[in-house]
Amino acid sequence: MVFKKAHSVKLIKELEQIARQLRIDALGMIHCREQGHPGGALSCADIISALYFHHLRIDPDRPEWEARDRFILSKGHACAILYPALARRGYFPIEELKTWGHIGSRLQGHPDRLKTPGVEMTTGCLGHGISIGAGLCLAGRVKGLDYHTYVLVGDGECQAGILWEGVMLAGKYRLSKLITIMDYNKIQLDGRVEDIMPLEPVKKKWESFNWATLEINGHNMEEILDSLDMACRIRDRPTIIVAHTIKGKGVSFMEGKAEWHAKAPNDDEFKQAIEELRKNG
């Protein structure tokens, strides 16, 4: 889609650089733990960078600030990208990332709102984020607060009926402060979304539930920023930003491969992945 150029080249470069760093952090965590979900973490790195390092109205020094924007990682398995974003944004020390998954760590295998500073909601079982985000918007409406709630959903979880219950509800109540981004990387655990349970026509589905729809390249920082701004200007309905992405984006041998949904790279693979990410920066 065509957007007006509202963001400086400098900002875009900065956010791209942060996304690259988050990808490196995520792979480091996954490699270190020998566990995790690299494919779906790398596909949403640019979106997470745009949200946490520019768009979200948040203050790590005031995590309970009532009027803060809320972000829910509905696809909780991508937490390898969320944790470094929270750490680098100042919610907890960066050194803590290496404790991920260890007994006693504040960083669980999937996000836990009670343990990890900055995590708004516990996720990991798919399909919940939109209904929860809708509830947050209703609370904001009752209280007269103007915060937005952002929900990042995977494509696979759009196969879950529970997700559409939330979509229907948000349409009914015209929750314009609910902005959903779909990380449409087209691969799920068992293979291609198109083969397992196709979602197309995706935009029409959301439109028919009375949502505004935007469609972007989820790796183009300018499009991400512009679409978020545009979604905030829509006042009569919730917005879905369908972000076309590449599973495993940034690492050649992971891109588009279902096998990298939930597999840690070995030492050689890790080394190559980091070299590629550094070189392409």
Partner 1 sequence: MIEALAEYGATNSRIVVLTADVSSSILTTYFAQKFPDRFFNVGIAEAGMVDTAVGLALGGMIPFVNTFAGLFLRATEQIRTCVAYARTNVKLIGGYGGLSDFKDGPTHHSIMDIAVMRAMPNIAVLVPADSIEAKKLVPLMAQYQGPLYMRISRSEMPIVFDDNHKVEIGKGVVVRNGRDITVIANGYMVSRSLEAASLLSSRGIDVRVLNIHTVKPLDISLIRKCAKETGAIVTVEEHSTIGGLGSAVAEALVRGYPVPVEMVGIADTFAETALDYDSLLDRYGMSVEDIVRAVQRALDRKKT
Q: Cβ of residue 165: shortest distance to partner 1, in angstroms?
A: 3
Q: Quick one: which of 28, 63, 109, 124 contacts partner 1 (CB under 8 A)?
A: 124
- Among the residue ranges 55-63, 83-91, 111-119, 195-203, the one whose residues contact partner 1 (CB under 8 A): 111-119
Asked if 109 interacts with partner 1 (CB under 8 A), we say no
> How far apart are alpha carbons 113 and 123 in whole angstroms?
8
Asked if 205 interacts with partner 1 (CB under 8 A), we say no
Size of the site for partner 1 (CB under 8 A): 31
Q: Cβ of residue 123: shortest distance to partner 1, in angstroms?
A: 8
Q: Residue 72's beta-bridge partner residues?
A: 151
DSSP 34: T
Asked if 120 interacts with partner 1 (CB under 8 A), we say yes
Q: Quick one: which of 43, 116, 131, 245 contacts partner 1 (CB under 8 A)?
A: 131
The residue among 166 and 218 lying less far from partner 1, judged by its C-beta, is 166
Q: Cβ of residue 12: shortest distance to partner 1, in angstroms?
A: 32
Q: What share of the chain is helix, strand, coil (3-state, %, to 5)?
A: 45, 10, 40
Q: Cβ of residue 46: shortest distance to partner 1, in angstroms?
A: 26
Buried b (16+ CB within 10 A) or exposed e, 16-30: bebbbbbbbbbbbbb
Angle of the 221-233 helix axis to the 9-33 helix axis, nearest 10: 110
Asked if 140 interacts with partner 1 (CB under 8 A), we say yes
* Closest to 119 (Cα-Cα) out of 173, 164, 82, 174: 82
Report yes or no: 1 and 223 within 8 Å, Cβ to Cβ. Answer: yes
Asked if 113 interacts with partner 1 (CB under 8 A), we say yes
- Among the residue ranges 24-32, 136-144, 200-208, 262-270, the one whose residues contact partner 1 (CB under 8 A): 136-144
* Closest to 273 (Cα-Cα) out of 16, 23, 35: 23
Helix (H, G, I), strand (E, B) or coil at 30: helix
Taken in order 157, 212, 217, 85, is the CA torsion positive or negative? negative
Q: Cβ of residue 146: shortest distance to partner 1, in angstroms?
A: 13
Using CB under 8 A as the binding rule, the residues of this chain from 220 to 249 that contact partner 1 are none
> How far apart are alpha carbons 12 and 77 in whole angstroms?
27
- Among the residue ranges 38-46, 121-129, 191-199, 231-239, the one whose residues contact partner 1 (CB under 8 A): 121-129
> How far apart are alpha carbons 123 and 154 in whole angstroms?
12
Q: Cβ of residue 120: shortest distance to partner 1, in angstroms?
A: 7
Asked if 156 interacts with partner 1 (CB under 8 A), we say no
Non-local (6+) Cβ contacts of 226 within 8 A are 3, 4, 6, 7, 216
Interaction mask 172-201, partner 1, x per CB under 8 A: -x----------------------------
Q: Quick one: which of 1, 6, 94, 139 contacts partner 1 (CB under 8 A)?
A: 139
Site residues, partner 1 (CB under 8 A): 66, 70, 112-114, 120-122, 124-125, 128, 131-140, 142-143, 149, 161-162, 165-166, 168-169, 173
